[in-house]
Amino acid sequence: MGNGWHEWPLVLFTVLGQCVAGALVVSGLGWLAEKNDPPARQRIVRGMFFLWVVMGLGFLASIMHLGSPMRAFNSLNRVGASGLSNEIAAGSIFFAVGGFWWLVAFLGKMPETLGKLWLLFSMVLGIIFILAMTRVYQIETVPTWYTGYTTLAFFLTAILGGPLFAALLFQASRVPFSSTIFASISLLALLVCIAVIALQGMALASIHSSVQQASSLIPDYAVLQVCRVALLVIGLGCWICPLVRRKEPNIVGLLLGLILVLGGEILGRGLFYGLHMTVGMAVAG
């Protein structure tokens, strides 16, 4: 039993990867909207550098999970047949295609039409990357993971953290951003997240084997989930409260909000890994 922090490389890889994918979709839409303002587009591209820094940190964490960097290549041996290989392949392609788009756009060498198509393709690859991550954990012999809550939680991370990350980049780039629209989407995602926590908590009581009860895997599960929700509420509040007062959120507030939201999702992902249990002799529920 534990809180799942022993899987910290996977915790960081999944949370950071999903947040970056969500942020690329939102910031990409913002870049496309600035079609009549090339200087603003260039400032957005410069800010998007931090997306790929965070994505690189996520991949570095995933390599740590493998024990040796040389094993990273072995993880691609069964692309098409293994969920893990598909995840690494999808993430690598997303990183390469999106990162190369950023480099060419940053250098000012990107033709406009090609740039739009390339960016849209990168955004789709980000969504595919998240979907590939969810498939890794759809394992029939792990009943606590083999549920739609897993897929929903992974996409919620992208919706909770991605728009806030994009808002921070746009504020730092001095480019107008449709904060109210995306903040409302993240707020809706928070409400869905709270509902998922409650429903999944009730479902755990019905999952057990002949030797193990799912609800006993993490004794402080409820308390830790409350702490997670508190971090998410405060983090999004750093973004939403200024908007309610009809003021522009400042960079410090957005950065603090992003750190808190990531902290909440990292805590939640740790709980996810802590709920790992195999079928064993028998499973009911």
Name the token pair of 87. Answer: 């995840």
First vs last C-alpha separation in the chain: 20
Is pLDDT of 2 > 80?
Answer: no
Is pLDDT of 121 > 90?
Answer: yes
The answer to whether the CB of 18 falls within 8 A of the CB of 154 is yes
Where do the H-state alpha helices sit in the chain? 8-33, 38-47, 49-66, 71-74, 83-106, 112-136, 148-173, 179-204, 221-244, 251-274
| pLDDT tier at 3, thresholds 50, 70, 90 | low
101-115, 125-139, 177-191, 198-212: least confident range: 198-212
Is pLDDT of 283 > 60?
Answer: no
For residue 175, the 8-state DSSP code is -
CA pair distance 17, 131, nearest whole angstrom: 12
The pLDDT value recorded for residue 263 is 97
Distances (CA, A) of 275 to 130, 225, 235, 239: 20, 13, 25, 31
58-67, 149-158, 219-228: least confident range: 58-67
Average pLDDT over residues 218-226: 91
Give 139 or 225, the one with higher predicted confidence.
Answer: 225
| pLDDT tier at 81, thresholds 50, 70, 90 | low
Backbone angles phi, psi at 277, to 5 degrees: -150, 145
Mean per-residue pLDDT over the chain, rounded: 89
Is pLDDT of 68 > 60?
Answer: no
CA pair distance 243, 240, nearest whole angstrom: 5
For residue 6, the 8-state DSSP code is G
The answer to whether the CB of 44 falls within 8 A of the CB of 175 is yes
| pLDDT tier at 243, thresholds 50, 70, 90 | very high
| pLDDT tier at 189, thresholds 50, 70, 90 | very high
pLDDT cut 90: percent of the chain above it: 67
CA pair distance 281, 181, nearest whole angstrom: 49
The pLDDT value recorded for residue 61 is 87
CA pair distance 31, 220, nearest whole angstrom: 43
